[in-house]
Chain A
């Protein structure tokens, strides 16, 4: 039986599931309120990382997402062992997240318009791209091509998955080739870059949107800090590799807060995409 103390406990001692400390402003945030605010800090605007299911639920027309290929699981092509065999790492991540790998794809609606959408999941092994993530991004692009609908990919990934070696590297070509076919067919592709989008994911499909949209202050870059530090002795400037840095240097079109992301995508698709069939489900635009 819990003992009730006569004084207010320190904030840090609140049950972690109820409160989250904002890394931006150190404010203690009530999770219920944080969820309601799409996991964006109401006081400083810090965008918390969100899982793929949460992202999809926030982004598309309510209830419109139909997942495809949920059963894809990575093999262990290299027999990779560091501290722990790779299959054990996968199993651990599957247990922790309840999902099979670091991406979900399917069809959904944006303001009534049908799109193919893929969301990467940073909570699963850092969103790293191995065979399954590469396959899902590729199938999303192929699905968009087959149905003649736009493609949206929301990236949140540390890069290629080392544990799958060069097979992970080959996913860069596989995904890019699929986007090439989409481009040739005149179908729009919007790349959403969330925190973080780095390494091989940024250097392949995430960089190649017809429109690139980033979330505020998202870490977006090619070389990881630890890689850079190990290779090049160079002091990195503050704000380096953040969304604003990318905007300034011309590699993202827009920085859009999470609360406006959905409307933004609906608006972009309205101009870029061929006219949506008039069968359109919930036509109204919901504000997050």
Chain B
């Protein structure tokens, strides 16, 4: 039953007819990225209209303004009360300009925070729709504290005492996606993608040209199936036909079934258990080994007078070679090698 609804769980079903994707894995991955970005793909408000019995949009962050790139409001889904928050891309150029291509600004994330807190206050579960190239990287966003807004949105999502269901419906672009994507269960549509940085940004850093974005997309393993394997995503929902854009109504119907099922499952958990499980879900992320090296002695580079005297009295050859203990790289004050957005 669950498997039928969810399309497939952790192991892929061989029976699922594979969409006609190009053979080379790089092209296949890039085709997914393009599908996730397809302008005809149903976006949050369209999906919510198909999923919810009723939806009332709420506006504004009460601090600065209303961000069209992040929408939210109150809804009923199959009778259940929910607070909805999602990125909103535009259907055409005009709307995209108004909605800033789904790239949230600080006021958008603060609106999300406001709605999360409202949900917490009234004990209403949260459903989020993630579909953004990333947070808006412009000057005004920095002036109003985009990093502060994202960090606080994540913090609030970790703390609210209501179930949180996250749906990655299109592009899960980095921090701007994550700010509304920390939840109890993370569901992705089949052709959704999720990455730490946009493939163009990754390629610009690694290869100094965004033309290599398809290589970056493959290297980052950003497809929904890859994210399922990594455990970042818990379920993948199959899309109808060639993708969600060919049948938005059917896509909404499939998402609705998953949302209802997950809301009911999470609602049955005692709140403390719910929060402990949410904490554990994120606490366990990480791929590292502990070589269990014995504790090293504390650094003693800046010694007292005795050390400095000893150093001064060291053989002459040392002074020509410089200060051996000093980290040679420190002297080079390099421009920052940005590792991410």
Interface, chain A (partner B; CB < 8 A): 15-18, 20, 23, 31-32, 35, 39, 46, 48-51, 53-54, 56-58, 62-78, 80-83, 96-97, 100, 122-123, 125-128, 131-132, 134-135, 138, 157-162, 164-174, 176-181, 195-196, 198-200, 202-208, 219, 221-228, 230-232, 234, 236-237, 240-241, 245, 249-251
Contact = CB atoms under 8 A, between A and B. Distances in A.
Nearest to B291: A71
A170 B155 contact: no
Contacts of A75: 287-289
A161 B338 contact: no
Nearest to B282: A173
Q: Give the interface SS of chain A, mostly helix, strand, loop or mixed.
A: mixed
A158 B298 contact: no
Given A65-B299, A97-B329, A166-B195, A198 B338 contact: yes
B144 A249 contact: yes
A73 B326 contact: no
B330 A71 contact: no
Which of A81, A96, A127, A135 counts the most B-chain CB atoms under 10 A from its CB?
Answer: A135
B283 A138 contact: yes
A205 B151 contact: yes
B340 A232 contact: no
Contact of B147 (A70, A71, A134, A202): A202
A97 B326 CA distance: 10
A63 B215 CA distance: 47
A37 B94 CA distance: 56
A224 B204 CA distance: 11
Contacts of A97: 327, 329
Contacts of B336: 122, 126, 158, 195-196, 198, 219, 224
19 contacts: A46-B333, A49-B330, A58-B302, A96-B329, A134-B286, A159-B340, A159-B341, A160-B339, A162-B206, A167-B285, A171-B285, A199-B175, A208-B152, A222-B135, A222-B141, A223-B137, A228-B138, A232-B136, A236-B139
Given A67-B295, A78-B221, A162-B206, A17 B151 contact: no
B283 A174 contact: yes
Nearest to A23: B333
Interface stretch (B48-56, B73-81, B317-325): B317-325
Contacts of B197: 160, 162, 227
Given A202-B147, A222-B141, A73 B330 contact: no
Contacts of B135: 203, 222-223
Contacts of B282: 170, 173-174, 177
Interface string B301-332: 11010000000000000001111001111110
Interface residues on B, range: 35 or more
Contacts of A162: 196-197, 202, 205-206, 220, 339-340
B295 A165 contact: no
Interface in B139-191: 139, 141-148, 150-152, 154-155, 157-159, 172, 174-175, 178-179, 182
B227 interface: yes
A66 B232 CA distance: 34
Contacts of B196: 160-162, 164-166, 168-169, 200
A91 to B, nearest CB: 13
Nearest to A195: B336
A102 B288 CA distance: 13
B150 A232 contact: no
B207 A123 contact: no
A46 B198 CA distance: 33
- Listed residue (B139, B145, B154, B196) with the most chain A CB atoms within 10 angstroms of its CB: B196
Contact of B175 (A70, A96, A203, A250): A203
A176 B279 CA distance: 10
B293 to A, nearest CB: 4
Interface in B266-296: 279, 282-283, 285-293, 295-296
A88 B122 CA distance: 51
